[in-house]
Amino acid sequence: MKGRVVILDHVGDRAAAALVVDGRLEDLLIDPEGDAPLTGAIYRAIADRPVKGQGGMFVRLPGGLSGFLRQVSGIAPGQRIIVQVTGPAEPGKAIPVTTRLLFRSRWAIVTPGAPGLNISRRIKDEDTRAALQTLADDGMAGAAPDHGLILRSACETAEPEAIAEDIRAMRDLAAAITADLAGDAELLLDGPDAHDSAWRDWAEPEPDEVAQDAFAELGIWDMIDALRTARVDLPGGGHMMIEPTRALVAIDVNTGPDTSPAAALKANISAARDLPRQLRLRGLGGQVVVDFAPMPKKDRGTLDQVLKAAFRGEGESNLAGWTTLGLYELTRKRDRTPLASLLEGLE
């Protein structure tokens, strides 16, 4: 497969989507089983009980579900609040939620509580930015004073009428939901499924092809099967092992048969470049500890730069750096259900 291809399919009765660029799987979305809330779902919740020492609070959601909210300043037990699901719940834990809502669509993001009109920095052309600023000003006229707007990079090639309609839709939706505080705990807006997320987030740059029900035909299942093993082969014969535990994700990098003086650095650079993609595809986050192949300390600066470039644009990731034992630590937001859990029971 050449170019940028989006494939929409299903895993059983669950929506699934894959993004393939020049024959390599770059992103994969599969909906969770059952009634698990989708990331991005918005609820009217009831503040329940604070958790001393953790700076958070449990909130009551509909259907007997429980959420955990970290930002609790000014929130009292029994108070009705609007919250949004930020990621999947870990086994035995409450669903992570936030009061910092985002109403996302293909071109616009409305941000209640974060005023201001902003345009993606990826859009460089001044005339285009000026035109988009006018659309933003007009579209948010009459919006709540504390509601902000972000115009996404996909706006650069979109029709002005479509952008304007999108802004109005997100503005009105945000106004309606943030004002809907009367009543018991209730789902106010479901999160996007895999197909909706693909349409929303993979639009820029525009795909060369969109294929329906083509996982088998285009070899996506073979690519997914490769993600079900711990081993990831690297150029030059090296490999890394990615093994999630309950506490953290452990990664071991090996040089393989290459015994040249630069073997370790080459294997480590290859692993660092592919690490964000592997974590994304496997749905892994939280604490990540990497045992890179042994190399001189003077080469750590080079690897640091490679890691920073690789994780740029990867969302909420923090590169903590090297430990005294020579391990590399980083964290990545748990924003997806682990792939192993999504495929559990499938042959």
Name the residue range of residue 277's domain: 227-342
Q: Is residue 188 in some structural domain? A: no
Q: What is the CATH number for 59? A: 2.40.50.140
The predicted pLDDT at position 164 comes to 97
In-domain check, residue 273: yes
Q: Are residues 251 and 325 in the same domain?
A: yes
pLDDT of residue 175: 97
Per-residue pLDDT of 271-320, as tens digits, reads 999 999 999 999 999 999 999 999 999 999 999 999 999 999 887 899 99
Is 296 found in the same domain as 240? yes
- Could you tell me if 84 and 111 lie in one domain? no
User: In the prediction, which pLDDT does 231 show?
Assistant: 97
- pLDDT, tens only, 75-110: 889 999 999 999 998 878 899 999 999 999 999 999
Pair 109, 83 in one domain: no
Q: Looking at the structure, tell me whether residues 212 and 235 fall in a common domain.
A: no
Q: Which residue positions in the chain have pLDDT lower than 50?
A: none
pTM for this prediction? 0.89
Residue 23 lies in a domain: yes
- Is there a domain that residue 36 lies in? no
pLDDT at 347: 60
What's the number of domains the chain is made of? Answer: 4
Task: Please tell me whether residues 205 and 250 are part of one structural domain.
Answer: no
Per-residue 3-state assignment (H helix, E strand, C coil) for the chain: CCCEEEEEEEECCEEEEEEEECCEEEEEEECCCCCCCCCCCEEEEEEEEEECCCCEEEEECHHHCEEEECCCCCCCCCCEEEEEECCCCCCCCCEEEECCCCEECCCEEEEECCCCEEECCCCCCHHHHHHHHHHHHHHCCCCCCCEEEEECHHHHHCCHHHHHHHHHHHHHHHHHHHCCCCCCCEEEECCCCHHHHHHHHCCCCCCCEEEECCCCCCCHHHHHHHCCCCEEECHHHCEEEEEECCCCEEEEEECCCCCCCCHHHHHHHHHHHHHHHHHHHHCCCEEEEEECCCCCHHHHHHHHHHHHHHHCCCCCEEEEEECCCCCEEEEECCCCCCHHHHCCCCC
Q: Does residue 280 sit in the same domain as residue 249?
A: yes
Say if residue 170 is in the same domain as residue 246.
Answer: no
For residue range 166-177, list pLDDT tens digits in order. 999 999 999 999
